[in-house]
Amino acid sequence: MMEGPAPTSEGRLHDPVAHDSAHKHVAGTAVYIDDMVEPTGTLHACLGLAERAHAEIVAMDLSAVAEAQGVVAVLTAADIPGANDVSPTGKNDDPVFAEGAVEFHGQPIFAVIGETREAARRAVSRAVIGYRDLPHVTDVSDALERVLPHVTEPLTLSRGDIAAALAAAPRRLDGRMRIGGQDHFYLEGQIAMAVPGEDDDVLVHSSTQHPSEVQHMVAHVLGVPSNAVTVEVRRMGGAFGGKETQGNLFAAVAAVAAKRLGRPVKIRPDRDDDMVATGKRHDFLVDYAVGYDDDGRIHAVDAQFAARCGFSADLSGPVTDRALFHADNAYYYPAVRLASRPMKTNTVSNTAFRGFGGPQGVIAAERIIAEIAHALGRDPLEIRKANFYGEPGRDVTPYHQTVEDNILPRLISELETSAGYHERRAEIVAENARGGVIRRGIALTPVKFGISFTATWYNQAGALVHVYRDGSVHLNHGGTEMGQGLFTKVAQVAADCFGIPLDRVKITATTTGKVPNTSATAASSGSDLNGMAAQDACEQIRRRLTAFAAEKWAVPEDEVVFEPGAVRVGAERIAFPDLIEAAYMARVHLSAAGFYKTPGIHWDRAAGKGKPFFYFAYGAAVSEVRIDTLTGEYIVDRVDILHDVGRSLNPAIDRGQVEGGFIQGMGWLTTEELWWDDAGRLRTHAPSTYKIPLASDVPRVFNVTLAEWSENPARTIRRSKAVGEPPLMLAASVLEALSMAAGSCGPHFPHLDPPATPEAVLMACERARGGP
Amino acid sequence: MSQIHVTTKINGDETEFLCGPEETLLDVLRDHLGMTGTKEGCGTGDCGACSVTVDGRLVCSCLMLGAEAEGHEIGTIEGVAKGDELHPVQKKFLDHAALQCGICTPGFLVAAKALLDRTLEPTEEEVRYWLAGNLCRCTGYDKIVRAVMDTAAELRGA
Ligand code: FES
Ligand code: FES
């Protein structure tokens, strides 16, 4: 399919086709849930949130709320017909409405249903709730000190004799690192609209990455079977993991209210409530001991990853697991012990966020490398290279999977050259040595990211394809569209399979009514899984068409070929719609359900061994920064990226993921600071105080290249690789470059922990000089 | 609550509406006039998703009362294209793949057009700082900036 330059309007596979909704996006006509025409009589819900971090509820008087103008109903835990729980892992620790006690500041206690959104919001403040305060812990180091419980079972990965290897290593360092959390700041906030149907039925429009889970949760909360609930989503205005489980509560509230009142109910929290009441990226406290030698080769790593999980488990188990899975980043640790500590805290329950714990592991690995390089007075890149996974004997991860597809050596050497890393670094080192207020830094960091859900059963997907009599195709699959271009990619697969133009394939909203029991669109796996499922469905239909055409035109089956534009049958070329009409008249079944499950992966959590990942995606970035050592302010001047997406299904979309992921990672590591006060209140709960990158903050020189030579050795959809999460971790290069710049102020290691706000950079400069 | 009668021009069309005294222009556009291309990202003037023009000036419609529109000319995303013919900046957003989830896109386009209506010779720094009031969480901005620069070049006839 690569031969010849295909016009992009044809939408061939591997072409840079525009996002399927791009035209609607620029015209302002793309419909998000809040844009849908509200059915007559739609009511609006608003949550009442806890005003204590940890307290018993001793009294609750909602009468003034109920009497407020425009209020139709007030719902509390007592009004939930089924289970008061939306725990995605079945732990029964995630109430829809707090009952008896509250466990974080901002926890939902009740909901007001009003004729208008404004009426509901105003009424909320009339609630009178009496609390008896209990001791609260918001910080993970306090949680460790006071030995608070784990919210979920911790994990240990180990290989080799760690104590002996640490003792025998010629050099050793011990350290502690804090890694900040991150709010998703999807521009479209959480939203759900529930429309009641007959009997127990309800239709929920939910901005979710996981319609099947919302369906099951809503059914659980309503106390009805799953077949009464249909969940649908056409598109989200961003999600990034923040809509993997966090939409459950909103959908449940809307559904309970809709069924109770017999009217459609919409719930859309304002930005502040959204940021206060929904989970974020986990922040971590990492304690590490590393044994290494004079060449900078690592002998042993012993590390503990403690995470602020919040009041409930949510996805903290798999998130903290994945932090361990990526605590090696791209490096071989001959002896290793990695332990997770998923700590309970009185904060909102942290959740999935692009990278799913992996980025925190990667950042810790890069910190260890930088610290070794500092101790040895070497370029950190040399230390990185000395520790890459390599030949047999140096190719096994801490979870006992062998790394067989490592392309980092080639990737790094190409990037070193194209970015002029060595010349630029030499020049920067020389300039910093001359002193001055402005210091510069440059760093090249790699990423190796394991692709697959570590919960092996999630690695399955379904699709539904219909071909209508006119040859147009209806495509549906379990993946959701959050801006990542999944729908476009999967439609390209379908169009390619039949040899028809992309505009003959109708991409339809994800709905639990068409494809059941789907997995979250997450773990970067959307195209891998749904592309394969769609291909399976298309191939079933194609096989039936092939058999039919072979018989009708009396040619061998291998002479029926679906070419772009037409189907070749023997010497004849038949237009696709004509073939379909003929097949219909001959009673050929023109619809198919496709299915896919990732082969060859397995994971034994208790043993800490297995092959949890189908393959790895790789990338590397060079970032250059300038800091003002008097204020800590900085500029990221230039970034060069070389990223591996295998054989790209759509280079325009993949490049967008790389750029956007990098900048989002840069925000996480630099300006985005979550800050809780002593009372346990999140004080950075709006864009006025929580700073994501702006157009004026991003690098002026931003060279992004896809490694065109890469082809996935694993049998993925057309040998492409997943791209959603891995690029986020390329931003480690920004943090490391800032660390180098700050470190140039003195002889000491600057210990620059993310987020590297200007304040943190200023303090790192002080530490380099020998300050605290 | 008594409703206020407002007469205004939206995208060149004479428009009258009734709104509550506390309703923002954003509420009016989205909820009363069905013009949902203008989005709410924060409601506090910090994200630019609700960008409109008022007499040609770029404004966050979440920070302006509907009643304040009286006698003014409002421009929204729905008026950026002329019928089916996209504005050059809209086309460039398509060419440069300058969008992902698309929910910030209307705000960026309204803001970019407001800039291009003032000058066809913006420097890249001007574009970056002009658009610094518009948040995008998906794209990383590079393609957006390129698209706007490219539009300016095309409109200059360069
Ligand atoms: S909604 Fe108006 S600036 Fe964010
Ligand atoms: S494209 Fe999603 S916020 Fe900009």
pLDDT mean values, one per 10 residues, chain B (158 residues): 92 97 97 97 97 98 98 98 95 96 98 98 98 98 98 92
Residue A454 falls within a domain, yes or no? no
Do A23 and B103 count as a contact with CB atoms less than 8 A apart? no
* Residue type at A745 in one-letter notation: C
Report which secondary-structure segment, H or E, holds A569: strand A566-569
| Domain finish residue from B58, B79, B100 | B79
Q: What is the largest CA-CA distance in chain B?
A: 55
> Which of A19, A183, A187 to probe ligand 2 with, by most ligand atoms within 8 A of CB?
A187
Neighbours of A557 (CB within 10 A): 11
* Residue type at A763 in one-letter notation: M
Q: Is the pLDDT of residue A669 over 80?
A: yes
H-type alpha helices, chain B = 25-27, 88-95, 105-118, 124-130, 142-156
Residues A470 and A372 occupy one common structural domain: no
Q: Tell me what pLDDT residue A6 has.
A: 34
Which CATH number does the domain housing residue A155 bear?
3.30.365.10
Which is nearest to A169 in space by CA: A293, A334, A28?
A293
Number of structural domains chain A divides into: 2
For residue A603, give the 3-state DSSP assignment.
strand
Residue A440 falls within a domain, yes or no? no
Residue A40 falls within a domain, yes or no? no
Closest residue in chain A to residue B47, using alpha carbons only: A687
Neighbours of A402 (CB within 10 A): 11
Residue A100 DSSP code: S
> Which of B62, B77, B134, B136 to probe ligand 1 with, by most ligand atoms within 8 A of CB?
B62
Q: Tell me what pLDDT residue A593 has.
A: 98
pTM higher than 0.95: yes
Residue A721 falls within a domain, yes or no? no
Average pLDDT over residues A323-328: 98
Sheet holding A615-628, edge to edge: A438-451, A615-628, A634-643, A701-706
Which is nearest to B106 in space by CA: B149, B83, B76?
B76
Nearest to B47 among A18, A25, A187 (CB): A187
Average pLDDT over residues A286-298: 98
Separation in Å, CA A498 to CA A463, A478, A570, A574: 16, 21, 17, 12
Residues A574 and A474 occupy one common structural domain: yes
User: Residues 6 or more apart from A262 whose CB is under 8 A from it?
Assistant: A196
Closest residue in chain B to residue A25, using alpha carbons only: B102
Structure tokens at A109: 């206690």
Do A18 and B97 count as a contact with CB atoms less than 8 A apart? yes
Average pLDDT over residues A250-259: 98
d(CA B158, CA B154): 6
A39 prior amide bond cis, ω within 30: no
Residues B64 and B110 occupy one common structural domain: no
d(CA A144, CA A339): 14
Residue A142 falls within a domain, yes or no? yes
- Chain B residues touching A241 at Cβ < 8 A: none
Residues A496 and A378 occupy one common structural domain: no
Q: Tell me what pLDDT residue A189 has.
A: 98
Q: Give residue A391's Cα distance to chain centre.
A: 31
Query: Percent of chain A beyond pLDDT 70?
Result: 99
* Residue type at A643 in one-letter notation: H
* Residue type at B136 in one-letter notation: C
Residues A368 and A476 occupy one common structural domain: no
Residue A366 DSSP code: H
Residue B117 DSSP code: H
Q: Indicate whether residue B50 lines ligand 1 (CB < 6 A).
A: yes
Q: Which domain holds residue B35?
A: 4-79
| Domain finish residue from A597, A617, A633 | A597
Q: Tell me what pLDDT residue A11 has.
A: 62
B contact test, residue of A26, A32, A34, A623 with most B CBs within 10 A: A26
Q: Indicate whether residue B45 lines ligand 1 (CB < 6 A).
A: yes
Do A28 and B145 count as a contact with CB atoms less than 8 A apart? no
Catalytic residue, from A103, A725, A736, A766: name it. A725
Centroid of ligand 2 to alpha carbon of A483 (angstroms): 7
CB A495 within 8 A of CB A501: yes
Do B145 and A656 count as a contact with CB atoms less than 8 A apart? no
Residues A383 and A498 occupy one common structural domain: no
| Domain finish residue from B32, B51, B79 | B79
Which is nearest to A281 in space by CA: A347, A213, A346, A325?
A347
Q: What is the pLDDT of residues A604-662, one digit of tens each?
A: 999 999 999 999 999 999 999 999 999 999 999 999 999 999 999 999 999 999 999 99
User: Residues 6 or more apart from A455 whose CB is under 8 A from it?
Assistant: A318
Residues B71 and B102 occupy one common structural domain: no
Residue A743 falls within a domain, yes or no? no
- Chain B residues touching A696 at Cβ < 8 A: 125, 128-129, 131-132
d(CA A111, CA A124): 8
Residue with tokens 């985005």: A672
Query: Backbone phi, then psi, for A562, in 5-degree steps?
Result: -85, 95
Separation in Å, CA A621 to CA A217, A641, A667, A703: 41, 4, 16, 10
For residue A272, give the 3-state DSSP assignment.
helix
Query: Percent of chain A beyond pLDDT 90?
Result: 95
Q: State the nearest Cα–Cα gap between B152 and chain A, in angstroms.
A: 17
Residue A266 pairs in a beta bridge with A44, A193
Q: State the nearest Cα–Cα gap between A697 and chain B, in angstroms.
A: 8
Q: Is the pLDDT of residue A1 over 60?
A: no
* Residue type at A132 in one-letter notation: R
Q: Which domain holds residue A205?
A: 136-398
d(CA A123, CA B40): 22
**What is the bridge-based pairing of β-strands A438-451 and A460-467?**
unpaired
d(CA B21, CA B32): 14
Q: Tell me what pLDDT residue A592 has.
A: 98
> Model ipTM?
0.97
Residues A488 and A394 occupy one common structural domain: no
Mean pLDDT, chain A, integer: 96
Question: Does B147 touch chain A if contact means CB atoms closer than 8 Å?
Answer: no
| Domain finish residue from A597, A632, A657 | A597
Do A688 and B44 count as a contact with CB atoms less than 8 A apart? yes
| Domain finish residue from B43, B62, B79 | B79
Burial of A16 (0-12, 13-18, 19+ CB in 10 A): middle
User: Residues 6 or more apart from A54 whose CB is under 8 A from it?
Assistant: A101, A102, A103, A104, A133, A134, A135, A136, A346, A680
Could you confirm whether A725 is annotated as catalytic? yes
Do B97 and A236 count as a contact with CB atoms less than 8 A apart? no
Residues B92 and B35 occupy one common structural domain: no
Q: State the nearest Cα–Cα gap between B53 and chain A, in angstroms.
A: 15
Q: Tell me what pLDDT residue A20 has.
A: 87
Q: What is the pLDDT of residues A42-79, one digit of tens each?
A: 999 999 999 999 999 999 999 999 999 999 999 999 99
SS3 content of chain A, % helix, strand, coil (to 5): 30, 25, 40
d(CA A512, CA A88): 17
Q: Is the pLDDT of residue A413 over 60?
A: yes
pLDDT class of A3 with cuts at 50, 70, 90 = very low
Question: Does B139 touch chain A if contact means CB atoms closer than 8 Å?
Answer: yes
Neighbours of A58 (CB within 10 A): 11
* The CA-based dihedral angle spanning residues A23, A26, A31, A37, taken in that order and rounded to the nearest 10 degrees: -120
Residues B14 and B72 occupy one common structural domain: yes
The ligand minimizing its distance to the Cα of B139 is 2
Q: What is the pLDDT of residues A343-399, one digit of tens each?
A: 999 999 999 999 999 999 999 999 999 999 999 999 999 999 999 999 999 999 999
User: Residues 6 or more apart from A93 whose CB is under 8 A from it?
Assistant: A85, A87, A151, A311, A312, A313
Residues A392 and A472 occupy one common structural domain: no
Query: Backbone phi, then psi, for A24, in 5-degree steps?
Result: -65, -35
Which CATH number does the domain housing residue B122 bear?
1.10.150.120
Residue A327 falls within a domain, yes or no? yes
* The CA-based dihedral angle spanning residues A523, A528, A534, A537, taken in that order and rounded to the nearest 10 degrees: -110
| Domain finish residue from A371, A398, A425 | A398
Structure tokens at A424: 């630029």
Residue A719 falls within a domain, yes or no? no
Q: Tell me what pLDDT residue A17 has.
A: 87
d(CA B65, CA B28): 9
Q: Which residue has the higher pLDDT, B158 or A489?
A: A489
d(CA A447, CA A440): 23
Structure tokens at A303: 């590390």
Residues B92 and B147 occupy one common structural domain: yes
d(CA A357, CA A324): 8
Burial of A644 (0-12, 13-18, 19+ CB in 10 A): buried
Separation in Å, CA A229 to CA A146, A194, A224, A498, B72: 43, 10, 8, 34, 47
User: Residues 6 or more apart from A726 whose CB is under 8 A from it?
Assistant: A447, A449, A524, A617, A618, A619, A643, A661
d(CA A758, CA A48): 36
Number of structural domains chain B divides into: 2
For residue A507, give the 3-state DSSP assignment.
strand
DSSP calls for A509-560: -EETTTS-SPPPS-TT-HHHHHHHHHHHHHHHHHHHHHHHHHHHTT--GGGE
Q: Tell me what pLDDT residue A523 has.
A: 84
d(CA A239, CA A241): 6
Phi-psi region of A572 (alpha: psi -120 to 50; beta: other; left: phi over 0): beta
* Residue type at A315 in one-letter notation: L
CB A54 within 8 A of CB A102: yes
